[in-house]
Amino acid sequence: MDAHRAWTEINLDALEHNLAVIAGRTGERARTMLVVKADAYGHGSVAITHHARHCGVRAFGVGTSSEALELRQSGVRSRILVLGTIVDDEAAAALRNDVEIALHSSDRRRFLQELASRQGLIARVHLKIDTGLGRLGVMPHKALELLEEIAQSSHLELAGVMTHMAAPDGALSEHTHEQLALFDEILAQARERKLLRGWIHAANSACIFTGAPLYDCVRPGISAYGVLPGALPGASELEPVMSLHSQVVFLKDVPKGSRIGYGGTWTAPQTTRIATIPCGYNDGVAWRLSNKGEVLVRGARAKIVGRVSMDYTCIDVGGIPGVSVGDRVTLVGSQGEQRITLEEVAGKADTIAYEISCSIGKRVERIYVGGEGVDAGRSELEPARVHPAARRSEARPAAPRANAHDDSAASVDA
């Protein structure tokens, strides 16, 4: 019998393989900024980030400042960028800990300039341009003006210019080409005015695998974890990093006509055996899998019956000989010759693979396998370095940053 009610196995060797596949597509043309937001899409951001560093990745993208500070507290000294936005009260701790911030407006530029000046630091920012996603980012016609403002700000350093693709199929979409054409136009104008500094980045997983321009840096997310949106080219080269498991905790023989679960939405068509597993929608089993999803038991497929509840899910194992309490149940992953993928689960739940992996709750144990010789939670001990004054415009007054950006960071004091 397994020791946990529900657990996910995270294969660090598969992560290393996928990062190598991505590097093979980008070559020497672009650096990799691995996206580890949402707890690395449910895989565990601290362990994933440390192992990715072992694999040569030196920059990471997160969704919130709290995610960035969690990595800093774990000893990660690499470059970390908050890809979206932060609220004002989060900014001071982010700057103290050398976290880079996406910038969307003149108001936020003014706020960060004043805050960094009070702290005696240089804030590293990435100008985000809205080329067509319509969510965050400065409008294209205001981008050059904001670049000018950043250049004139004594306590801001332009660390990059970025945009965000809207189409899930990358360069296979005409909309992607329209966005990139607009982005390139702005970059050309900025270059002509000598306003460009830092990394230029736009390519996500879909763009990397469909031949879109890579610029200076790429931002792979879901592909590093073994998934590509839809049926994009290159999907077969990747290996799944995550599998999700539970175990049978109760067995019951029920007669024909028995109703199972809340609302009695499933009725036994014949005498059968129902197994209960201690894993529900708080643990990553989507409620929409009720009466539709499947799991693996003893190498065979069993149907989810009745509504998935918060803590438990019922499965029909009447056609599988020898099922016993304690048997492993695989919700995502392989048993024998059978495999259930994140994409399959997402399809049956009428959602995307991202939502399935991100929904795996905190009480699901993360078990890391592979990556021999690497302590995925170790603290990195590279010394901090003084921010080189040569990186600033000579017209700016000297103002120290907490640390150099490459592989160092301040101690966390949130």
User: Which residues are the active-site residues?
Assistant: 37, 262
Report phi then psi at 81, rounded to 5: -120, 130
Cβ atoms 96, 114 nearer than 8 A: no
Structure tokens at 287: 């409620």
Specify whether the CB–CB gap between 126 and 100 falls below 8 A. yes
Which two three-digit tokens encode residue 238? 């990747």
Residue 195: which residues within 8 A CB-CB, separation 6 or more?
Answer: 144, 147, 148, 151, 158
E-assigned strand segments in 68-110: 79-82, 100-103
- The helix/strand/coil state of 409 is coil
Task: Specify the residue for token string 């592909």.
Answer: 223
100: left (phi over 0), alpha (psi -120 to 50) or beta: beta
Exposure string of 275-295, with b = 16+ CB inside 10 Å and e = fewer, is: bbbbbbbbbbbbeebbeebbb
- What CA–CA distances, in Å, run from 251 to 260, 275, 297, 318, 323? 13, 5, 13, 10, 9
Q: How many CA atoms lie within 13 A of 355 on its CB side?
A: 14
